[in-house]
């Protein structure tokens, strides 16, 4: 979700105003994804690199996170959403962790769409942490090196239990992944749009989904191989 600050700057407004508008876009997209029957939605809300932003902006973003979770808890319960988080949440302020833990606990039994927030998240850091944990298992004798494969390493990632994404949407015209789900995006379809996140609405979401629907996902195979043959099982993400 990129472009909040630029959206505000283009209008001569403080950057935090753009973040407030970005929260409204989050609410719209979450509701539309739930209405469409998607099973999983992951939002890159705050990266590990974002800690380097001005302290005032970081503090404001943490406050926005708390207010969003508090105001959206009842709607999440009503819609059956289950909230999850990935990233180094231990770096979040105490109040943000409290509100986040409460929201996850309250929605844990829901069986609708899984809404995952990436907070203080960086994919390289996630992979390093996973390798450290896996190495500790090997050194403790609970795992042998020969047993290490893609599935085992994936089970040590923050996203364990989640399917790899089918579609990645990047707003604001930036053409990069920005340290997001590097392992998980191996065969994900990528969609880039010039639209800034505060202006990303249900119409823009449908445009992205329509383009995705027209693509052929080959997973390393040829089109001829897939013709008349069921492709690998996919989850709505």
Residues 6+ apart with CB under 8 A from 146: none
What is residue 235's predicted lDDT score, i.e. its pLDDT?
54
pLDDT above 90: percentage of residues in the chain: 91
Looking at residue 48, what is its pLDDT? Answer: 96
Active-site residue set: 2, 50
- List alpha helices for 13-115, DSSP H: 15-36, 55-79, 94-107
Q: Render 137-157 in DSSP notation, one character per residue.
A: HHHTTSS-GGG--HHHHHTTS
Q: What structural domains does the chain harbor?
A: 4-122+168-213 (3.40.1180.10)
The structure tokens 């008349």 sit at 228
DSSP 51: G
pLDDT at 219: 77
Q: Alpha carbon of 183 to those of 1, 114, 134, 187: distances in Å?
A: 19, 20, 16, 10
Q: What is the pLDDT of residue 227?
A: 74
- The parts of the chain modelled with pLDDT lower than 70 are 228-237
Q: Write down the pLDDT at residue 234.
A: 52
CB atoms within 10 A of CB 161: 10
pLDDT tens digits, one per residue of 161-209: 999 999 999 999 999 999 999 999 999 999 999 999 999 999 999 999 9
pLDDT of amino acid 197: 98
């Amino acid at each position: 979700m990129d472009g909040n600050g630029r959206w505000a700057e283009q209008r001569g407004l403080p950057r935090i105003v753009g973040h407030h508008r970005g929260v409204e876009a989050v609410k719209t997209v979450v509701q539309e994804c739930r209405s469409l029957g998607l099973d999983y939605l992951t939002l890159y809300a705050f990266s590990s690199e974002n800690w380097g932003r001005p302290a005032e902006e970081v503090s404001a973003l943490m406050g926005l996170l708390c207010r969003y979770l508090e105001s959206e808890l009842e709607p999440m319960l009503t819609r059956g959403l289950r909230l999850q988080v990935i990233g180094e949440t231990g770096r979040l302020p105490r109040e943000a962790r409290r509100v986040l833990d409460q929201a996850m606990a309250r929605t844990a039994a829901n069986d609708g769409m899984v809404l995952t927030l990436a907070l203080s998240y960086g994919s390289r850091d996630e992979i390093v942490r996973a390798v450290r944990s896996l190495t500790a298992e090997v050194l403790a004798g609970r795992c042998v090196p020969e047993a290490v494969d893609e599935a085992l390493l994936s089970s040590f990632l923050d996203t364990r239990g989640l399917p790899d994404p089918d579609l990645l949407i990047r707003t604001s015209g930036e053409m990069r992944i920005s340290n997001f789900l590097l392992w998980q995006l191996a065969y994900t379809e990528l969609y880039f749009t010039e639209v800034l996140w505060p202006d990303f609405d249900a119409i823009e979401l449908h445009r992205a989904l329509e383009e995705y629907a027209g693509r052929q996902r080959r997973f390393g195979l040829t089109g001829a191989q897939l013709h008349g043959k069921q492709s690998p099982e996919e989850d709505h993400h």
